[in-house]
Amino acid sequence: MKYVDHLLELTKHFTEGIEEETSVASLAGILNCSERHVKTVVNVLHSEGAIKWVTQKGRGKKPKITIQFTSDEILLNQTKGMVRAGRYQDAFLLVDSMAEHGKKKFQQWFAHDLGLAQQTENDRDLDILRYPFYETRLVMDPMKIISRHDGHMVQQLFDRLVEYDAATNELKPGIAHHWETKDGKQWTFYLHKGITFHHGRECTSSDVKLTFDRLMDETGLFANIEKVDTYSPAIAHFVLKEVDFLFPRMLAGVKASIVPIEMVSENPEKFKMFPVGSGPFQLTQNDENIIRLEVNHSYFSTRPWLDEIHIIKTPSDYEEKATHPFVLNAPDATWKQVRRMEDGASYIMFNCLKEVPFQQEALRREIYTRLRPEEIRNEGLDNEVAAVSFLSSRSENAKLNKVSGKVRYEGPPLQIAAQQIRPGANHEKAAKHLQTELLKMGIESTVDVVDVHQIVSDESMATYDLFVGGIALGEDRLLSLLTALQSNELVIYSCLNEQMKGFVDKKIREIRSAQAESARWEMYFEIEAFLKSNYAIFFCNHRFHTVYEPKENPYVSIELDSNGRVDYRKVWRK
């Protein structure tokens, strides 16, 4: 609508729906423009139906004006136009200026515009998923991902040598169509020919080598790799330092996604925001308004059914008010709940390396046995359940601590660090609940929120006595756990004393040398039992993820993956 600002000014002087006499000269004063321009404005607004403008012939007869909309209705139409033009942030900013009734109307309209829908563009029917996202500072460089949301996006944009199928506990071909080993120490991967990155260059064994060289040079991951050789553009050969029959499964992790190294080297910071992969979707837009993914028409494997995904960067207060198939609230009783408990857990680590106080096992035990998971929640009663392991299945019917009372401790206040992934995404609430529980024991403490990149620094390890954090496991739970236990990016390994680290390292070597999955899990549970019996780690809670979908839903595979997100690659319409 043209002249919206002029129309809004008129609503301040005339009542909606009531015909009132006025004059061109009077309107020129209201609108602060010439009488000639007033005539243009009122004629345009009249033709658009925004006002009713009636002129009368005869001396002394004044024109009459009727405003057809309230100011909120005008603003609502303006915000709708902004949304349709993709100017989401401008729309949200304008909504903030509206009265509560107008805000509610916009939110209802906006929610109706979300979800799965068909749209015709250039004579093509496109199936598009639109949904709001409230945590939009995504890191999409596979090596640098931090959160489950980062990992979910990387999964859509990149490919890995192999893919892990959690339902069958088997590996499936990815970029590699075949792999083999004779001794568990040397592994050969044979690559599909003709796979191209989104910028058009073919993916070869050189990309595999350079990807893993980068991972080994810049992170502590894949420390068991001695070297990567390229026998031909389609053959990559890994030489390991030690036998590892789990090695191919490690290559299915999202951080092992294959990248075109020249695109990373050109601008590493840009690559985090505008990545180039070879996956089923490619990123075509990432600005203040939207993250747009489009299907990769040259994808070498099964093409996704969805054509586009529009991830709208939305103010956080919309999270509880949206009503479409991918939100946390059911619109009404006709929608069914899809709910899944997350494998992984929040935890408290006792810093067993710091000289005082937790090198003393007795003090760790006294505090440990008085902690109760249900009192150390980070979210809420409906979204968390007490944990005794990183695996949710082992926490069912678990026996929890019942010891209470004071602890004899005469040292300085304990210092607690709460892990933070990004502002607003942290374990501060759980850390403060821990502080309350310590006070019940007669122990004073302080809480600091510490960035995940700094939490294992020498300074942090020398400062903090207790660390509150958490992990979410990937589809391959065992590999996720082994990686977490030895990661130099998490506090678990860093908090262990040398005897504990020696036990963990020895058990993990045995796990990687074993070929039976049942034996591997038995040895892993020995690690958890050891750390618990030494009062090094206290498990707090598992999280639930919940979405809703209509019972009469034509769309299939709307289900949560290990990240608590819907896997775009699997959605299709009947």
Residue-level pLDDT at 98: 87
CATH number for the domain harbouring residue 163: 3.40.190.10
Q: Answer whether 86's CB lies under 8 Å from 290's CB.
A: yes
Residue 314 shares a structural domain with residue 363: no
Q: Integer distance in angstroms from the first to the last C-alpha of the chain?
A: 39
Section 377-381 average pLDDT: 76
Distance of alpha carbon 139 from alpha carbon 386, whole angstroms? 30
The pLDDT of residue 351 is above 70? yes
Q: How confident is the model at residue 389 (pLDDT cuts 50, 70, 90)?
A: very high
- Do the domain assignments include residue 20? yes
Residue-level pLDDT at 546: 67
CATH number for the domain harbouring residue 449: 3.10.105.10
How buried is residue 532: exposed, middle or buried, by Cβ count under 10 Å (0-12/13-18/19+)?
middle
Section 155-159 average pLDDT: 96
Residue-level pLDDT at 322: 47
Residue 450 shares a structural domain with residue 480: yes
Section 107-121 average pLDDT: 81
Structure-model confidence comparison of residues 489 and 215, the more confident one: 215
Residue-level pLDDT at 317: 64
How buried is residue 148: exposed, middle or buried, by Cβ count under 10 Å (0-12/13-18/19+)?
buried
Domain that holds residue 505: 341-544
Structure-model confidence comparison of residues 169 and 565, the more confident one: 169
Residue 173 shares a structural domain with residue 252: yes
Residue 167 shares a structural domain with residue 265: yes
Section 168-195 average pLDDT: 97
Residue-level pLDDT at 570: 79
Residue 401 shares a structural domain with residue 293: no
Section 342-358 average pLDDT: 92
Residue 277 shares a structural domain with residue 311: yes
pTM for this entry: 0.80
How buried is residue 375: exposed, middle or buried, by Cβ count under 10 Å (0-12/13-18/19+)?
middle
- Do the domain assignments include residue 99? no
Q: How confident is the model at residue 461 (pLDDT cuts 50, 70, 90)?
A: very high
Convert the pLDDT of each residue in 434-448 to its tens digit. 999 999 999 999 999
The pLDDT of residue 552 is above 70? no
* Token code pair at residue 444: 């004073």
- What does the mean pLDDT of the chain come to? 89
Most confident of 188-202, 357-371, 388-402: 188-202
Section 461-474 average pLDDT: 94
Residue-level pLDDT at 323: 43
- Do the domain assignments include residue 133? no
How many folded domains does the chain comprise? 3
Section 359-374 average pLDDT: 93
- Do the domain assignments include residue 153? yes
Residue 401 shares a structural domain with residue 303: no
Q: How confident is the model at residue 195 (pLDDT cuts 50, 70, 90)?
A: very high
Q: Answer whether 93's CB lies under 8 Å from 120's CB.
A: no
User: 4: which residues sit within 8 A by CB, 6+ positions away?
Assistant: 74, 78
Residue-level pLDDT at 556: 61
- Do the domain assignments include residue 137? no
Q: How confident is the model at residue 54 (pLDDT cuts 50, 70, 90)?
A: very high
Section 195-206 average pLDDT: 98
- Do the domain assignments include residue 45? yes
Convert the pLDDT of each residue in 252-305 to its tens digit. 999 999 999 999 999 999 999 999 999 999 999 999 999 999 999 999 999 999
In order of 253, 414, 437, 523, the CA distances from 535 in angstroms are 30, 16, 17, 19
Residue-level pLDDT at 401: 72
- Do the domain assignments include residue 473? yes
Q: Reading across the β-sheet that carries 176-181, which strands appear in turn? A: 176-181, 186-191, 235-240, 225-232
Distance of alpha carbon 547 from alpha carbon 472, whole angstroms? 18
* pLDDT above 70: percentage of residues in the chain: 91
Residue 280 shares a structural domain with residue 381: no
Residue 208 shares a structural domain with residue 243: yes
- List Cβ<8 Å contacts ≥24 apart for 23-32: 23/62, 23/63, 24/63, 27/65, 31/6
* Token code pair at residue 571: 């959605």
Largest CA distance in the chain: 105
Residue 421 shares a structural domain with residue 534: yes
Q: Which of 36, 52, 69 is the last residue of a domain?
A: 69
DSSP conformation letters of 5-54: HHHHHHHTTS-BT--EE--HHHHHHHHTS-HHHHHHHHHHHHHTTSEEEE
Most confident of 9-18, 238-247, 379-388: 238-247
Section 147-160 average pLDDT: 92
Nearest Cα neighbor of 241 from 251, 227, 230, 221 is 227
Section 215-227 average pLDDT: 92
How buried is residue 461: exposed, middle or buried, by Cβ count under 10 Å (0-12/13-18/19+)?
middle
Q: Which of 268, 298, 324 is the last residue of a domain?
A: 324
Residue-level pLDDT at 72: 86
Torsion of CA 405, 406, 407, 411, to 10 degrees: 160
Section 11-30 average pLDDT: 93
Residue-level pLDDT at 497: 96
Structure-model confidence comparison of residues 202 and 546, the more confident one: 202
Residue 359 shares a structural domain with residue 279: no
The pLDDT of residue 380 is above 70? no
Structure-model confidence comparison of residues 206 and 569, the more confident one: 206
Q: Which of 324, 353, 388 is the last residue of a domain?
A: 324
Q: How many residues does the chain have?
A: 574
Q: How confident is the model at residue 147 (pLDDT cuts 50, 70, 90)?
A: confident
Q: Answer whether 257's CB lies under 8 Å from 180's CB.
A: no
Nearest Cα neighbor of 551 from 286, 338, 291 is 338
Phi, psi dihedrals of residue 391, rounded to the nearest 5°: -95, 125
CA 355 to chain centroid, in Å, comes to 37
CATH number for the domain harbouring residue 24: 1.10.10.10
- Do the domain assignments include residue 53? yes
Residue 284 shares a structural domain with residue 352: no
